[in-house]
Amino acid sequence: MSDASPPANKADKTPADDAPEPIQHGPLGKALADKGLTLEALGDDAVGNETLGVACADLLGVAKALRDDGFDLLLSVSGMDYKEYRQSVTHLYSTKTYQTVTLKTDAGGDDTVPSLVPIWPAADWHERESYDLMGIHYEGHPDLRRILMPIDWIGHPLRKDYKEEDPRLVWNRR
Amino acid sequence: MTTASPAPELSLRDKPGFSDLQGVTVEHGLNTQDMVVNIGPQHPSTHGVLRLVTTINGEIVKDMEPVIGYLHRSKEKMAEGRSYFQYQPTIDRVEYLSSFYDHYVYVTAIEALADLKVPKRVEYIRMICMELNRITSHLLWFGTFLLDLGATSPFFYAFREREAIFKLFEDITGARMMYNYFRFGGVNADAPPGWLDDVRKVINELPFRFDEYEAIANKNPIVMDRCIGVGVTSYQDLLDYGVTGPSMRACGVAQDMRKTNPYSCYNEVEFDVPTATEGDVYARYKVRMAEMRESIRIVHQLLDNMPGGDSAELRKLEKEHAKVAEEIAAAKKRVTVAKKNEEAPNAADVAKMAEKAPELPFDYRTTGQKVNLMVFKPPAGEAFSMVESPRGMLGCYLVSDGTPKAYRVKWRGASFSNLTILPSMMIGNLYPDLMAIFGSLDIILPEVDR
C-alpha cells in the first residue's frame, strides 16, 4: 500500500503531492488490471473485502472477468445516494476461494448503470429494488419496475432529498 | 373387426395442441384453459404476506409471479434517521425468527468500522445464542413445513421444544423473540447465574426429541411421496438465482460461512456441515434436521469451554476485586489525611498496591471497551459483514460518514434471494407441490420486504 514511489524532487512539490498516496491494487484488482481492464483501486473495507471502482463502460467486462475467476454468486446490489451522484454497489462472493469483492459504479447524470442480469441472473430482483428505492436505471434489465413500493408510488424513497409529497395521500391533503 | 377400416380422420379440434380460443388447448382429448389463481397475500401457507400470481393449466403451473412488498416497513430508511443504537431495536423486526443473526451482522460491521475488540466470553455467549436461535428457527420450519403437507401434530411438538429454548433466551436477554441483546463490542448483560446449566439441560433433551420427530416424519409415506424427487434444483440454478443456505447444501455443496469464512470463534469448535446430494425437498428437510444436531454439538463445546465459566463464579471474583479496590481507595485517602494516632502509609507502597490490584481478565468481560451508546460515532468508512443465518448468507452493508447516524444500511437478506428461484422451480410442476416446494425454501417475508 505504501510502496508508491515518492516524488523525485521534493523542491518542485505540487499541490497534488499533498493529496493522500494513491491506493494500490489488492491481489484481485491487480490480476484484473493485468488483463487490461480499467478499474480504480479503492482499498479494502473495514471487514477486509477488496473494493474496486469501475466505470459504467467497463462494468460488463470486469464483471465477466470476475465471473470467470470464480465469483459465481451475486450477493447484493445496493443503490447509494451521495447527493451529487448515485452509485450502484455490487457485492460478489466466490464459492471457490470464499472471497467477497465489492464493485462500485458511479451512475452518470442520467442515473444509468449497465445491468448485470446477463452475467448473474440473481441481479434481477436486486436491481429492481435499487431502481425502486434509489431511482438508478439499469440499462439492459429485462423487467425494470418497482418491487417493494406500490407500482404507482411517486419518487424514490431512499434518496437523501426524498420528500413524500404525493397529493393522493390523505395526510398530504391537510 | 378383421377388415381394416380406414382410421377416422381426426378433426382439427381433436388434434393435440389445437387452440381456437385464447389459452384453450386440447390435451388428451380434453379442452383445457389457462386459469389465473391468485395465492395470497393472505394465505396460511405463505408464512407472511406474499402474493403469488399463478397461471395454471389443469394442475400444471404455467407461470408464476411473486408479488412482494406488502411488509415493506422502510427499515433501511429508518437507519438514516436515528442513531446507531436507536436503530438496533428495529433490527429484530427485520427477521423475527432468528434475529440474533441480524444483530450480529450489524454489530460486527460497526465493530469492524470502529475497531472495537470483543472479549472471548462475549463471542461465546453470542455463538450460543445464535446456534440456539438456529435450532428454534429450524424447529419452526419443521413444524410449519409438515403443517403445509397436512400433518398437524409435529407443529405442536416443535413449538414445545421451541418454547423451552425461548425460556433460555428470556432469561438471558429479557425477551422471547425481540432480543436486542448484542452491543457494540459486547453484550447487554452477562448470562444469569446457572444459565449455562439450564442450556445444558435443554440441549441434552433435544436429540431425543429430534429422534422422535424423525421417527414420525422420515419414513412417513405421505412425507416421502410429497418430498422425494419434488422441486429438484441443480447447483448452477441455485448460483444463478443467488440461493444460499440449506438449499445449497442440499445440492451437495458444503457452502457454510461458519466453515469457509470462520467468523466469531467458529474456528475453535468442531462441527460438520451436513449436506445431501439429491437437491430435492426431502434433501433440504434432511439437511435442516442434521443442522440442528450439529448446532447442539457446537453449543456443548461452547458451554464446556466458556471463558470464565458460570457467571456466579465471575460475580464472586468481581466482589473480591471490589473489596481490594475499596482497601486501596481507603489507603490512598489515608496517605493525604492520616487518621489520629496512626502513621500515614507510604505513598509509593499504595501506588504499588494499586498497580497490582486484580482485574477481571479481558476475555472474561461482557463489554470490551466502554462505549457511550447515545453518542457513539464510528469513523467514516464502510463495512460489509456476513453471517451464515439459518436461511443462508445474511449480509449488512453499512456506510458511515462519521456522524452519529448511519449514512446507509443495506440488508442482504437470504430470503430475498431465495424467493427469486420459486417461479423457475414451479413452472411445469404440479400445483399441489407448490406448498411443499415453497415451504422447503424456508422464506420469511419480513426479511424479503424489510
Mean local confidence (pLDDT), B146-151? 86
N-term to C-term CA, chain A:
58
Q: Which residue of A has its CA nearest to B408?
A: A80
Containing domain of residue B435, as a range?
Answer: 75-305+373-449
Interface contact flag, A122 B420, Cβ < 8 Å: yes
3-state secondary structure of B426: helix
Q: Is the pLDDT of residue B20 over 50?
A: no
- Whether A121 sits inside 8 A of B240 (CB atoms) is yes
pLDDT band of residue B27 (cuts 50, 70, 90) is low
In a domain, B1, yes or no: no
Rounded to an integer, the average pLDDT of B85-108 is: 90
Q: Which three cell numbers, joined as nine digits, stand for B280? A: 430435492
Domains of chain A (ranges, CATH numbers): 15-123 (3.30.460.80)
Q: Give the span between the Cα atoms of B62 and B384, in whole angstroms.
A: 39
Q: What is the largest CA-CA distance in chain A?
A: 68
Give the model confidence (pLDDT) of B302-334 as tens digits.
Answer: 999 988 888 888 888 888 888 888 888 888 777
Q: In DSSP terms, which residues pair with B383 in a beta bridge?
A: B398
Go through B166-177 and write b for each residue having 16 or more CB atoms within 10 A of its CB, e for each that does not: bebbeebbeeeb
In a shared domain, residues B219 and B197: yes
Inter-chain CB proximity B384 and A102 less than 8 Å: yes
* Domain edge (last residue) among B67, B84, B104: B67
What is the mean pLDDT of the segment spanning B92-96? 87
Q: Give the pLDDT confidence score for residue A1 in this predicted structure.
A: 43
Residue that is last in its domain, among B67, B88, B114 = B67
Percent of chain B with pLDDT over 70: 91
Kindly list the residues from chain B whose CB atom is less than 8 angstroms away from the CB atom of residue A149.
Answer: 69, 72
DSSP lists the bridge partners of residue B65 as: B53
Per the CB < 8 Å rule, is A125 touching B416?
yes
Mean pLDDT of B397-412: 90
Q: Is residue B5 part of a domain?
A: no
Query: Taking CA atoms, what residue in B is nearest to A92?
Result: B242
Distance of CA B374 to the CA centre of its chain: 28
pLDDT over 90 at B104, yes or no: yes
Contact A78, B383 (CB under 8 A): no
Contacts of B76 in chain A (CB under 8 A): 133, 158
Amino acid at A61: G
Q: Is residue B358 part of a domain?
A: yes
The conformation of residue B379, written as its DSSP 8-state character, comes to P
What are the pLDDT digits (tens) for B121-140?
999 999 999 999 999 999 99
Residue B176: pLDDT over 70: yes
Min Cα–Cα distance to chain B from A10, Å: 31
B350-358 long-range contacts (CB < 8 A, ≥24 apart) are: B353/B328, B354/B328, B357/B321, B357/B324, B357/B325, B357/B328, B358/B320, B358/B321, B358/B324
Interface size between A and B, measured as CB pairs under 8 A: 91
- Tell me the three-class secondary structure of B205-272, residue by residue: HHHHHHHHHHHHHCCCHHHHHHHCCCCCCCHHHHHHHCCCCHHHHCCCCCCCHHHHCCCCCHHHCCCC
Q: Touching check for A95 and chain B: CB below 8 Å?
A: yes
Give residue A7's pLDDT.
Answer: 45
Query: Is residue B440 within 8 Å of B281, Cβ to Cβ?
Result: yes
Q: Does B393 touch chain A (CB under 8 A)?
A: yes
Would you say residue B187 lies in a domain? yes
Strands A50-53 vs A100-106: parallel, antiparallel or unpaired: parallel
Confidence of residue B50 (pLDDT cuts 50, 70, 90): confident
**Mind listing the pLDDT tens digit of every residue in chain A (174 residues)?**
444 444 444 445 455 556 667 777 778 777 777 877 778 878 788 888 888 888 888 888 889 888 888 898 999 999 998 888 889 999 999 988 898 999 999 888 888 899 999 999 888 899 999 999 988 999 888 888 888 888 888 888 888 888 888 888 888 776
User: Does B24 map to a domain?
Assistant: yes
- For B400, the closest chain A residue by CA position comes to A46
Q: How far is A148 from chain B (nearest CA, A)?
A: 4
Q: Is residue B221 part of a domain?
A: yes
Closest CA to A80 of A39, A51, A37: A51
Identify the weakest region by mean pLDDT among B363-372, B380-389, B394-403: B363-372
pLDDT digits (tens, 9 = 90+) for B209-265: 999 888 888 888 888 888 888 888 888 888 889 899 899 999 888 888 888 888 888
Q: Which helix (H) or strand (E) covers residue B102, if one does?
A: helix B99-114
Of A45, A75, A160, the CB nearest to B382: A45
For the residues B384-399, what does the mean pLDDT come to? 91
The neighbour count for residue B359, using CB atoms within 10 Å, is: 12
Mean pLDDT, rounded, of chain B: 85
Q: What does the pLDDT read at residue B21? A: 47
d(CA B48, CA B71): 8
- Termini Cα distance of chain B: 71
Of residues B5 and B246, the one with the higher pLDDT is: B246
C-alpha cell at B253: 455443496
**Three-state secondary structure call for residue B375:** helix
Answer whether A125 touches B (CB < 8 Å).
yes
The shortest CB-CB distance from A158 to any of B77, B115, B419 is to B77
- The CA distance from A89 to A77, in Å, is 6
The strand pair at B186-187 and B182-183 is best described as antiparallel
Instruction: Give how far Cα B105 sits from Cα of A88, B247, B384, B394, Å.
Output: 21, 21, 9, 8
pLDDT of residue B237: 87
Residue B197 gets the label, from left (phi > 0), alpha (psi -120 to 50) or beta, of: alpha
What is the Cα–Cα distance from B304 to B299, expressed in whole angstroms? 9
Nearest CA in chain B to A48: B383
- d(CA B161, CA B140) in angstroms, rounded, equals 10
Do B301 and B421 lie in one domain? The reply is yes
Please give the average per-residue pLDDT across B339-359, as a whole number: 73
Residue B7 included in any domain: no
Q: For residues B193 and B337, state if they share a domain.
A: no
Chain A positions in Cβ-Cβ contact with residue B386 (cut-off 8 Å): 75, 100
The grid cell for A50 is: 477488496
- Residues B76, A158: C-beta atoms closer than 8 Å: yes
Cell numbers 456476513 label which residue?
A: B386
Closest-CA distance of chain A to residue B450, Å: 9
* B102 lies in the same domain as B26: no
Per-residue confidence band for B342, with pLDDT thresholds at 50, 70 and 90: low
- Quick one: B47 and B102 in the same domain? no
Q: Does residue B435 lie within any of the structural domains?
A: yes
Query: Chain A partners of B408 at a C-beta cutoff of 8 Å?
Result: 78, 80-81, 158
Predicted confidence at residue B7, as pLDDT, reads 57
Tally the C-alpha atoms within 13 A of residue B239's C-alpha that lie toward its C-beta: 19
Quick one: DSSP state of residue A107? -
Nearest to B397 among A91, A93, A122 (CB): A91
Give pLDDT tens digits for B417-429. Answer: 999 998 888 888 8
Do B397 and B300 have their domain in common? Answer: yes
Same-domain pairing of B415 and B327: no
Euclidean distance between CA atoms A3 and B217, whole angstroms? 62
Q: φ, ψ for residue B238 (rounded to 5)?
A: -60, -40
Task: Give how far A104 is from chain B: nearest CA, Å.
Answer: 12
**CATH code assigned at B168:** 1.10.645.10
B28 or B86, which is more confident: B86
Q: Please give the residue that has the higher pLDDT: either A109 or B289.
A: B289
* Residues of chain A found within 8 Å of residue B395, distances taken between Cβ atoms: 75-76, 91
Phi, then psi, of B136 in degrees rounded to 5: -65, -40
CA distance B384 to chain A (A): 6
Which residues on neighbouring strands pair with residue B384, listed in sequence order? Answer: B397
Of A61, A97, A103, A99, which Cα lies nearest the Cα of A78? A103
The Cα B376–Cα B359 span in angstroms is 26
Within this chain, do residues B128 and B217 fall inside the same structural domain, yes or no? yes
Same domain, residue pair B430 and B287: yes
Angle at B102 between CA B98 and CA B107, to 5 degrees: 140
Buried b (16+ CB within 10 A) or exposed e, B56-76: bbbebbbebebbbbbbbebbb
Interface probe, candidates A90, A96, A147, A160, chain B, greatest B C-beta count within 10 A? A147
* Min Cα separation A111/chain B (Å): 18
Residue A14 confidence (pLDDT) = 53
The reported pLDDT for the residue numbered B431 is 86
Cβ neighbours of residue B391 closer than 8 Å, sequence gap 6 or more = B98, B137, B245, B246, B413, B414, B415, B418, B442, B443, B444, B447
Domain count, chain B: 3
Q: Are residues B249 and B169 in the same domain?
A: yes
| Residue partners of B292: CB distance under 8 A and separation at least 6 | B134, B135, B138, B139, B206, B210
B381-389 mean pLDDT: 91
Q: Are residues B87 and B171 in the same domain?
A: yes
Contact A98 B69 (CB under 8 A): no
C-alpha cell belonging to residue B143: 413444524
Tell me whether residues A91 and B239 touch, CB distance under 8 A.
Answer: no
Which of A76, A86, A88, A149 to mutate to test binding with chain B, by most B CBs within 10 Å of its CB? A76
Give B 142-181 residues with CB within 8 A of chain A.
none
Q: Do B244 and A73 touch (CB under 8 A)?
A: yes
Instruction: Give Cα B87 to chain centroid, integer Å.
Output: 19
Contact B397, A87 (CB under 8 A): no
B382 and B421 belong to one structural domain: yes
Strands A50-53 and A73-81: unpaired
